[in-house]
Amino acid sequence: MNDQAIEQEIQAKGLTAPRVTPADLQVNIAHEHYFTAADGVQAAGAVHLPAGEGWTLGSLQLLTICVLVLRNGFTVTGESACASPENFDAEMGRKIARDNAVAKVWPLMGYELKERLHQRALPAQSPTDLERQQ
C-alpha cells in the first residue's frame, strides 16, 4: 500500500486528529538531488586503484543516491542498488532512492508533531516558575 492509498483509508475512516499527511511531507522537502556513487567518487577525485588491479567505477554506477533537503536544512538520504547491470535504469533508481529517503522523513515529522502536541499539553508556566527551574 502506498502513502496515498493509506491517506485515503485514513480519511475514509474519519480519523481527524493531528497527524502528518503525505502532503505535509512533500511540502517539507525543499530540494532533492540525485547522483550515482560513481558520480560522487569522480567529483571528489577519490578514485583509488587497489594495488595491482584494474579498477573501474562499474559497480558504483549501479548505486543511486537521493538527498532530500528539508525546509529546516536537515538532510536525509535514500539509496537504490542494482545487482545486475543489465537491469539498471536511472529513472527507476531515482524513484526507489527517493522512496527510501521519504521513508526516513516520516518518523522525523512524526516526532516533531508529537513534540508540539506534548508542549501544548503542558501547563502554562509563569516567568517565576521558569526562573525557579534555572
Report if residue 51 sits inside a domain.
Answer: no
Which of 66, 55, 65, 63 is CA-nearest to residue 85? 63
Beta bridge partners of 31: 69
Report if residue 126 sits inside a domain.
Answer: no
Q: Are 85 and 62 in contact (CB under 8 A)?
A: yes
Report if residue 65 sits inside a domain.
Answer: yes
Instruction: Provide the H-helix boundaries in 34-89.
Output: 37-44
Q: Report how far residue 85's alpha carbon sits from residue 59's, in angstroms, rounded to the nearest whole number.
A: 8
Q: pLDDT tens, 55-101? A: 567 889 999 999 999 999 999 999 999 999 999 999 999 999 999 99
Report if residue 35 sits inside a domain.
Answer: yes
| Domain hosting residue 23, numbered range | 19-43+59-118
What pLDDT score was predicted for residue 82? 92
Total tally of structural domains belonging to the chain: 1
